[in-house]
């Protein structure tokens, strides 16, 4: 049966591309994906597969119950876009100004929808149940996964699998991990209040730019000098806002950044060290400050048994020539909430497009669409591998 399923997926490739390109042209930002959610719901309605909408927000979950007994497995795809202007010169370029699918979520959605259509044909032969989990708002914390989990929507699920079309990995390569796979991702904002004045009289001021610059310099020493070098962490400042004129000393400066970590104990240490650095520098310079630290997605930790099933499943996908375990990447992913709740694993499906070297979240981001059926085949192979092992 699996051989026939693979053939059906291959035969569905033109529709898979068509869906992906339609979604690429009509992106919606996190928590605003009402039309996309409706598109997904209408697709399942046409297939006569039962579904629920507004799950944890804009989420959609469709349920395909097989004709044979077995376990319930969720397959997840996200469908939100990013606030980025699409700069690609392609026929399927985003039609929404300032919004684009710059991370492959359009491809994830197309993969899962097409897989659902294929599996509907094999429903009576299907062991167990597939939950096609379409998740909103992956890109922006608090994200869509946590409210879906908190809603109880996957309480009955036995396992969960998901993939990310990975534009920096070659086509035909699958990557995963049997432990921590992606980093925890937090956000922070520091507001430094000094005392402004004329640029000619610095001695009468408390220069917020100078103070903020010292804070930035010292924050970079947290990872290099205060964290165990065998641990992995990142402290990055992405925004530095201050000043209004060339000859005025700024009274206020804002720093916004991110922290990435793999070990929750390191997260706690970084927060404490950041607070000490900011407090000490501001005290020395007689300035005040606010420090707002927002804990985001936790590290994505794969379950070893389910990750092994992914690796085994990849052997049955002809287009995959390399399946490898890799070290964690420092990007964040709210799939982490699913594996905190249920056994499961996440993997990267290589989707590098020849001649397009641009990474995720780049205005010229694109994927090799031949990765879509590879992702679909691997997901359904993992589903059957899990069913086989459970029985």
Catalytic residues: 80, 138
The DSSP line for 118-153 is HHHHTGGG-EEEEEEEEE---SSTT-SHHHHHHTTT
Q: What tokens were used for 177? A: 């991990």
The beta strands (E) that lie in 273-331 are given as 288-297, 300-301, 322-325
Distance of alpha carbon 381 from alpha carbon 75, whole angstroms: 11
Helix (H, G, I), strand (E, B) or coil at 373: helix
Quick one: how many helices (H) and strands (E) in the chain? 10, 16
Determine phi and psi for 278, rounding to 5 degrees.
Answer: -65, -45
**Which residues, at least 6 apart from 57, have a Cβ–Cβ distance to it below 8 Å?**
31, 136, 137, 144, 147, 148
Q: What tokens were used for 238? A: 């992405």
| CA geometry: angle 132, 317, 11, nearest 5 deg | 70
Other CB atoms within 10 A of residue 224 CB: 9
Tokens 């209040």 belong to 193
Environment class of residue 288 by beta-carbon count within 10 Å: exposed (0-12), middle (13-18) or buried (19+)? exposed
Closest C-alpha among 144, 89, 116, 107 to residue 27 = 107
| Exposed e or buried b per residue across 375-386, where buried means at least 16 C-beta atoms within 10 angstroms of its C-beta | bbbbbbbbbbbb
Torsion, Cα of 98, 100, 102, 106 (10° steps): 170
Distance of alpha carbon 201 from alpha carbon 345, whole angstroms: 60
Tokens 């991370």 belong to 103
Determine phi and psi for 18, rounding to 5 degrees.
Answer: -60, -45
Torsion, Cα of 348, 354, 358, 363 (10° steps): -110
């Amino acid at each position: 049966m699996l051989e026939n399923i693979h053939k059906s997926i291959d035969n569905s490739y033109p529709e898979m591309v068509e869906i992906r390109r339609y979604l690429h042209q009509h992106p919606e930002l996190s928590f605003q994906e009402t039309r996309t959610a409706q598109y997904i719901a209408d697709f399942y309605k046409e297939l006569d597969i039962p579904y629920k909408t507004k799950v944890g927000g804009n989420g959609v979950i469709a349920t395909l119950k097989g004709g044979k007994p077995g376990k319930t497995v969720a397959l997840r795809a996200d469908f939100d876009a990013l606030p980025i202007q699409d700069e690609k010169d392609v026929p399927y370029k985003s039609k929404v100004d300032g919004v684009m699918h710059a991370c492959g979520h359009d491809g994830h959605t197309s993969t899962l929808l097409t897989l659902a259509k294929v599996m509907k044909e094999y429903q009576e032969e299907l062991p167990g149940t597939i939950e096609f989990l379409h998740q909103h708002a992956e890109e922006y914390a608090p994200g869509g996964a946590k409210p879906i989990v908190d809603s109880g929507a996957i309480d009955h699920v036995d396992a969960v699998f998901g993939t990310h079309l990975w534009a920096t990995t070659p086509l035909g390569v699958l990557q995963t991990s049997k432990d921590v796979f992606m980093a925890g991702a937090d956000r922070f904002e520091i507001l430094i209040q000094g005392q402004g004045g004329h640029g000619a009289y610095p001695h009468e001021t408390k220069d917020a730019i100078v103070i903020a610059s010292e804070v930035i310099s010292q924050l970079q020493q947290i990872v290099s000098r205060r964290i165990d070098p065998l641990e992995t962490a990142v402290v990055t400042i992405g925004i530095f806002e201050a000043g209004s004129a060339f000859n005025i000393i700024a009274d206020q400066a804002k720093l916004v950044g991110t922290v990435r970590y793999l070990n929750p104990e390191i997260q706690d240490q970084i927060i404490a060290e950041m607070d000490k650095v900011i407090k000490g520098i501001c005290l020395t310079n007689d300035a005040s400050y606010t420090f707002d630290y927002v804990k985001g997605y936790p590290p994505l930790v794969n379950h070893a048994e389910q990750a092994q099933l992914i690796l085994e499943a990849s052997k049955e996908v002809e287009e995959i020539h390399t399946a490898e375990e890799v070290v964690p990447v420092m990007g964040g992913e709210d799939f982490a909430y699913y594996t905190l709740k249920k056994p499961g694993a996440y993997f990267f499906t290589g989707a590098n497009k020849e001649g397009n070297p641009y990474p995720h979240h780049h205005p010229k981001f694109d994927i090799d669409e031949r990765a879509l059926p590879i992702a679909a085949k691997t997901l359904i192979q993992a589903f059957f591998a899990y069913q086989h092992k459970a029985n």
